[in-house]
Each structure stands twice: as structure tokens, then as C-alpha cells.
Amino acid sequence: MNYSTHYSPGPDLLKDRVILVTGAGQGIGKTAALAYAQHGATVILLGRNQKRLDAVYDEIVNHGHPEPMALKLDLAQAGDDDFQGMAQAIFEQLGRLDGILHNAARFDGLSPLEYQSLDQWMGTLRVNLAAPVALTRACLPLLTRAPDSTVLLTSETHGHQPAAFWGAFAVSKWALEALVTIWAQELAVHPNLRMNVVIPGPVRAPQRLISHPAEDRKQLPESTRLMPLYLYLMGPDSRGHSGEIFEAQMS
């Protein structure tokens, strides 16, 4: 589904909601965390770089938004016990969870499949696909208890339309579409919980520097241009949409 980013969210769109954002230290994850906080959410910042998390934490607090929670966790190494412990900590400290944005990703650059090692494949699939499954599963009791909740996953253009040299990364992102289709059907018994995928398209973000190093970054839109879509899908106005793929249109 193509979706325009001209949606205008109300200032209190996410008031009193608790939203977990993975990959919150930089790129789209950071921008989304700031946008969610700006619209009233208490944001849980998850990432593997404590310095970056602290910087986002400070930016949110300095702007007078609800105080966030920061969790350092390496998705490449985390197991079920780590995710269960995280969900328990969220419940004990915040008492609820209304949404998850899975934005953390591993991208090792472009190369032919014949040069991509098993370790590279397993690491990419673990961060981009298995970790969102395990984290969401651990948080399901909280999400299904919320009156209106969302799980949102960031994919990528070359996952939606696989192309040469994108290898493990494209496959891991392509699999997110199948994951959301399956899980949205299984969660139909919980009409308060929806699950969707966003394909941002080209934006000025760290991954783009790796995949397109010669590109003129000044010609790319800022990730802030995506936030109307990310806010729409995380907020109550997107009720009725689940198991869908949203491609951002920024023209």
C-alpha cells in the first residue's frame, strides 16, 4: 500500500502510551523515538551503544517530553531470557506497553551471494528477523493487555523487491512481510493489536552511506519526512489496518 506522508497528527496523539523503539540511537529509530516523545509517549530506547542512547535520552528530556527509559541490549547476542527479562522490567517500571517499533538492523554492505559467509547470514537473520520475533513474543502479554497497541517493523526497498548483491539483508527484510502476514492473522483474536511493515524508501540515514557511498546526500529527504507515516501507524488513527505493507510516498 502506498501511503502519503502528509498526515497531520495531533500533538497528544500518543499521550500516556509507552512505546519501545529498537535501534533508537541513530537514523530512523532515533528520529521516530523523538517524534513519539514529542507527541506524548513515554519512549523506551533500545540499542547497543550506550553513548548514543544517552544522547537521545537527554534530547528528549531537554525538550520537556515524558522521561524515557533506556535499555542497552545487543540483539545479535540476546536470547529468550534477555527478552523476557526486558519485558518484565518494562512491566515493573512502567506497567504497560502500547507499541513496538522494530527498527534495528544489521547491514554488512553489498556483495555477491557467493562471498557471504554463514556467520554473516546468521548474524543478519538474527538481528533483522529472529530478534523482532523473540522480542515481540516476550512482550505479547503486555501488548494484548493494552486497549490499543501496535507492532511496527521497518523494512527496506530491496527487501520488498529483491535485487542482486543485497543478499542476506534483502532476504531478512523480505521475510518481515511474510512474518507480518502470518502473525496478523494469528492475532485476529486480539483486535486491539495490529502489526504492519513500513518501507521508508531512500532517506538520509547511516545505512544509506554504506549502500550508496557515492550518492549526493543533499538530494535525499531527511528521515523526519517519514514521521507522519510512523506516527499514523503507531497511533489510534490506523485502527483497522493490520498485516499490511506501507510504502512511504514523499513526493
Look up the CATH architecture of domain 2-249: 3-Layer(aba) Sandwich (3.40)
Q: pLDDT (tens digit, 9 = 90+) per residue, 172-227?
A: 999 999 999 999 999 999 999 999 999 986 666 666 555 555 555 566 667 788 99
Res 223: pLDDT: 74
Res 219: pLDDT: 63
Displacement of CA 30 from its chain's centroid (Å): 10
| Residue-wise DSSP of 157-187 | HHHHS--TT-HHHHHHHHHHHHHHHHHHHHG
Res 151: pLDDT: 98
Res 220: pLDDT: 61
Q: Is residue 4's pLDDT more than 70?
A: no
Pick from 71, 63, 77: nearest CA to 92: 71
Dihedral of CA atoms 123, 229, 245, 144 in degrees, nearest 10, equals 80
Q: Contact, 83 vs 1, CB < 8 A?
A: no
Task: Give the rounded percent of residues in the chain with a pLDDT score beyond 90.
Answer: 79
Composition of the chain by helix, strand, coil, percent to 5: 50, 15, 35
Displacement of CA 121 from its chain's centroid (Å): 21
Q: What is the CA radius of gyration of the chain?
A: 17
Between these two residues, 100 and 5, which has the higher pLDDT value?
Answer: 100
Q: Is residue 251's pLDDT more than 70?
A: no
Q: pLDDT (tens digit, 9 = 90+) per residue, 129-178?
A: 999 999 999 999 999 999 999 999 999 888 888 899 989 999 999 999 99
- Residue 25: pLDDT band (50, 70, 90) is very high
Q: pLDDT (tens digit, 9 = 90+) per residue, 58-99?
A: 999 999 999 999 999 999 999 999 999 999 999 999 999 999
pTM (2 d.p.)? 0.92
Res 139: pLDDT: 98
Res 6: pLDDT: 78
Res 48: pLDDT: 94
Between these two residues, 223 and 243, which has the higher pLDDT value?
Answer: 243
Q: Is residue 16's pLDDT more than 70?
A: yes
